[in-house]
Structure formats: C-alpha cells, structure tokens
Amino acid sequence: MKQIVKILTLLLAVTAVWIGLLQTSTIPESYTWLLPLYLIVSLGCYGLLMVGVGLMNFPTCPQEALFLQQDIIEAKEFLKKKGVDVGSD
C-alpha cells in the first residue's frame, strides 16, 4: 500500500471515529465539534516540540574536526614520501 494511502486511511479512520462521536453524543456535541481543531493544534505542537528537542540535543562533535586535522597532516606526510602530489592545495 502506498504511503499516501496509508496516511489517508488513518485520516479516514479518525474521521469515522469523530463522526461516530457526533452521532452518539457520548460527549457533549460542542466539544466534539472542537476535536478536529485540537487534533491540528496538537499535531503542530508535536512537530514544534520534536524540532525543538532535536535542536536542543543536536549531537555535535568539535573534537572530530581536530582529529581530522591530525589525520590530514599524517596522510599528507605519508603521501608526499610516496611521491603523490598533495602539496599544491
């Protein structure tokens, strides 16, 4: 099943539940009408939260840049000895 179909099916199922709630009035109807709005707001909050948390915990590796510099120096020395032209840039 294509991903878009999966997502639409999920949406359809949620809509069906919502319509069910509207029909049976298990909770007051005025609340039920607001549920889609809550859904959209909570989806937005979820997105922002995930981006925020991801940004806060963004893994960085400054020490790797230093290691790489050392590796580059080592590699250049070796290659120069072997006659590979690494000096020009």
CA distances from 31 to 12, 20, 28, 56, 64 (A): 20, 14, 6, 35, 54
The Cα 9–Cα 55 span in angstroms is 31
Instruction: State the minimum distance, in angstroms, from the CB of residue 27 to another protein.
Output: 27
Give, as ranges, the residues between 12 and 41 that touch another protein (CB under 8 A): none
Of 4-12, 20-28, 29-37: span binding another protein (CB under 8 A): 4-12
68 binds another protein (CB under 8 A): yes
The Cα 70–Cα 87 span in angstroms is 16
60 binds another protein (CB under 8 A): yes
Among 2, 23, 28, 37, binds another protein (CB under 8 A): 2
3-state secondary structure of 13: helix
Residue 76: which residues within 8 A CB-CB, separation 6 or more? 86, 87
Q: Which residues are near another protein by CB under 8 A?
A: 2-4, 6-7, 47, 50-51, 54-55, 58-62, 64-65, 68, 71-72, 75-76, 78-79, 82-86, 88-89
